[in-house]
Structure 1
Amino acid sequence: MVRSGELPAIKIGGRGQWRVERAKLEEYIQRKYTETAKWVQTNPLVD
């Protein structure tokens, strides 16, 4: 997600650890909930 640019982050230190701001992560999660809800509405389980 970070490498694709879907989730903004920065790389810190020599070990290549990623830092994601809490607010950005929460926004990402909320966006995914919304996307999933829309998908479920357009793709309902039917008989």
Structure 2
Amino acid sequence: MMASEANRAFLLRADWLDRRLVLAYALLRARVSRRHPAPALLPES
């Protein structure tokens, strides 16, 4: 039972860390794309 509890705690911590990494990556991409817009996102004419 102790191994199950430790495994559950590890999975919860990993999920929390993964969400933080995804959020930080999304914020970084938004900041970079705002500073340097991609040519494909600009209107053609």
TM-score, normalisation: structure 1? 0.51
Q: What percent identity do the matched residue pairs reach?
A: 7
Which 4+ stretches in 1 moved above 2 angstroms? Answer: none
Report which structure shows greater RCO (CA 8 Å, sep ≥6).
1
Partner residue of 1:38?
Answer: 20
- CA RMSD in angstroms comes to 2.0
Partner residue of 1:4?
Answer: none
> Of Structure 1 and Structure 2, which has the larger fraction of its residues in strand?
1
- Aligned counterpart for 1:28 among listed residues 1, 4, 10: 10
> Of Structure 1 and Structure 2, which has the larger fraction of its residues in helix?
2
TM-score, normalisation: structure 2? 0.53
AA paired with 1:24?
A
Runs of at least 5 residues in structure 2 that lack an aligned partner in the other structure: 34-45
How many positions carry a matched residue from both structures?
28
Larger Rg: 2
